[in-house]
Amino acid sequence: MAHLFDRKIVFTAIIVSLVVAVPLIFFEFAVRFVAPQAELYPRYGYSERFGHQMAESATIVHQLPGVWRFIYHTNEYGYRISMPEVSNRYDRRNVIVLGDSNTFGIGVNDGEEYPAVLANRLSEEADVINLGVGGFGLTHEIRTFYEFGLLFQPAVVVLQFSFNDPYDNFYEMVTTVQDGRFRFHRDRSMSRAMGHVKQWLSNSILQRSAAYNFTRNYAYSYWQARVVQRESSSDKHGKEAFYNRLLVAFAEDLKRRDIPLILFDAPGDLGLWPGIRRKVEDLDRDGLLRHLRTYQWYEGISGYGTPEGHPWGAKGHRVVASHLVAPLLAALAEGKPLKAMR
């Protein structure tokens, strides 16, 4: 009798497993054929300080199977390789580059991202340290600079603006300004428990599932929109005002430190935020930063995007680097001599 009962349990377990597995397998193949999803493995991990970060010392595969494939390597700090060793003294001046996925170089292989191209072009003058991370806004970039970038005793800072920065500032608001002083906060976009789940998922084989990525992409967009709405006014001017407060405080502090700041945008992105564009132009006139206007950089040039969807492919990154060389050389010439920085 017990033997028959055990067989019934096993049979029931098999039926239940099939009932669950068959629809999931069907969903997986349906997504792969009808709506293929990009894969990123390992994906961004959780960070209480930044909300998210790239995996450290990792080989990251980014692909749409059968369509495109890119490989990204990160160093022991989770940034795109390579960079000089952190020290109290440097043989050459350092240029810090802050930005999001455009600066990290999503959609191009190692060495094709514009900071790497710049490093080659400026090899006799300075080292270029790429601190760009996908999904970062100015709130993340400022914290990155003060917690890590300052260790390189930078001679110049380059800041790249993207249209989604004012939104990203409210999704993971890790830096605010109070009475002209930066305050750094723990990320509040999710609980610690959810953060640990995200950390586990970022290295899970699930990242290679089309069905999982399909579900994740829609769920993430919904969750991000809810957090941004919760943390900010839905008014566009409110997002511009917060970005401007961060930027003014950052530019003024760099001025006090005698570190030139150069700001430029991805194609047309600053024009989408007229309040931020006006503030950038004011800061430019006041000598607090140098604004590079990019709208003419791509005239007569086609095919400079990436099949992955970002505005700059390898050609686009070369265009960006070519227009940054002269302003950087000028800023380096005007800045502190190397011996004064030691």
Give the domain ranges of the chain.
Answer: 1-34, 39-335
Give the Cα separation of 77 and 277 in Å (integer): 32
Calculate the alpha carbon distances from 26 to 22, 30, 207, 214 in Å. Answer: 6, 6, 18, 14
Calculate the alpha carbon distances from 45 to 114, 128, 149, 167, 327 in Å. Answer: 24, 25, 20, 20, 35
Give the Cα separation of 61 and 41 in Å (integer): 5
Measuring CA to CA, which residue among 176, 97, 104 is closest to residue 135? Answer: 104
**Over its length of 342 residues, how does the chain's per-residue pLDDT go in tens digits?**
545 555 566 556 556 554 544 564 555 556 566 677 889 999 999 999 999 999 999 999 999 998 999 999 999 999 999 899 999 999 999 999 999 999 999 999 999 999 999 999 999 899 999 999 999 999 999 999 999 999 999 999 999 999 999 999 999 999 999 988 999 999 988 877 777 777 777 777 767 776 667 777 777 777 777 777 776 666 888 999 999 999 999 999 999 999 999 999 998 999 999 999 999 999 999 999 999 999 899 998 999 999 999 999 999 999 999 999 999 999 999 866 555 444
Measuring CA to CA, which residue among 311, 316, 318 is closest to residue 100? Answer: 311
> 38, 32 in Cβ contact below 8 A?
no
Question: What is the CATH architecture assignment of 39-335?
Answer: 3-Layer(aba) Sandwich (3.40)
The identity of residue 65, as a single letter, is P
What pLDDT is attached to residue 17?
52
What pLDDT is attached to residue 33?
64
> 114, 324 in Cβ contact below 8 A?
yes
Residue indicated by tokens 């605010």: 176
Q: Strands 261-265, 156-161: parallel, antiparallel or unpaired by DSSP?
A: parallel
> 80, 104 in Cβ contact below 8 A?
yes
